[in-house]
Amino acid sequence: MDNKYLLKKWLNNTLTEEEQRTFNTMEDAELNKAIIAHAPNFKASHFSVPNSFENLQERYPAKQTPIKKLAWKRTLLQIASVLVLGFAVYYGFFYSQTTQIKTLAAEKTKISLPDNSTVILNAASEISYHEKNWEKERELQLEGEAFFKVAKGEKFDVKTSGGTVSVLGTQFNVKQRDTYFEVSCYEGIVQVTTQTTVHKLLAGDTFRVDAGKPLNGSTQDIVPQWTTNKSTFKLVKFHHVLDELERQYAISITYNGNKHNQFFSGAFVHDNLKNALQAITAPLGLTYKIEGTSKVILLD
């Protein structure tokens, strides 16, 4: 039976008993009754009474706001999701919160770890660790270069993309720059684990991997020289030296010659750019030109 027909008869109060029962089952029957029931309470300065059903139909809104039924199962799932998410956020914040320390070019910083171990972070480097879990697991991630003085205690791990350095309490330096990985031990014993080998270093020992090629060496220094504002190199490819100079002075170096892979031994200071450039160019017969405040060009 047509709904419009029933609505028209209902407004005119001419429904039969059977039509009334059908009207009562209509989806918007209660809404229509509520509108008529509350109509006498409406007040306006000017009003008009519809003369016919067609007139009312023109004024009646075309779209009705649907009455949503409560989906209790869906609601329970939403509540459960919120609780799970809240627990995950709580756990992540209070138990897995990561501490990150990062240096910019031409910047160094000293960090005290939760067990009073200390880290001196070289320029353009970063460490990260979980402070809340430190007593159970002394472990940190390193990108760049850092000098460690580790307090006695449980195993202490320094993880890099080139390998992992493990100690119980000692002083050592770790450098990880792209494909260059180097560890120098200054006190105690350290264990270096790479993808292919395991090495134990005593005080004075060094271990290096450059582009996949390992090399054992030694040092007479008692601390890494970069901590005293001087970078030193022993048979290191020249392009690594240029990279380090860029980091220490926050400059850009352009060199189009053929000595990038030539081995260099020497040093440069961190507090005088001209002196530093002279120290690395003279041994290789190069010259340099400074443009502006942050650009250097090397020439054969």
Q: What would the 3-class secondary structure string for the chain be? A: CCHHHHHHHHHCCCCCHHHHHHHHCCCCHHHHHHHHHHHHHCCCCCCCCCCCHHHHHHHCCCCCCCCCCCCHHHHHHHHHHHHHHHHHHHHHHHHCCEEEEECCCCCCEEEECCCCCEEEECCCCEEEEECCCCCCCEEEEEEEEEEEECCCCCCEEEECCCCEEEECCCEEEEEEECCEEEEEEEECEEEEECCCCEEEEECCEEEEEECCEEEEEECCCCCCHHHHCEEEEEEEEHHHHHHHHHHHHCCEEEECCCCCCCEEEEEEECCCHHHHHHHHHHHHCCEEEEECCCEEEEEC
Are 83 and 134 found together in one domain? no
pLDDT of residue 251: 98
47 band by pLDDT with thresholds 50, 70 and 90: very low
Range of the domain at 129: 100-228
Residue ending a domain, choose from 31, 55, 88: 88
Residues 233 and 248 grouped into a single domain: yes
* Same domain flag for 105 and 176: yes
How many domains in the chain?
3
Last residue of a domain, one of 177, 208, 228: 228
Same domain, 261 and 168: no
Q: pTM of this prediction?
A: 0.69
How confident is the model at residue 48, as a pLDDT? 45
The reported pLDDT for the residue numbered 39 is 54
Q: Is the pLDDT of residue 55 over 60?
A: no
Last residue of a domain, one of 26, 61, 88: 88
pLDDT at position 264: 98
Q: What is the pLDDT of residues 91-112, one digit of tens each?
A: 454 445 899 999 999 999 999 9
- Same domain? For 125 and 203 the reply is yes
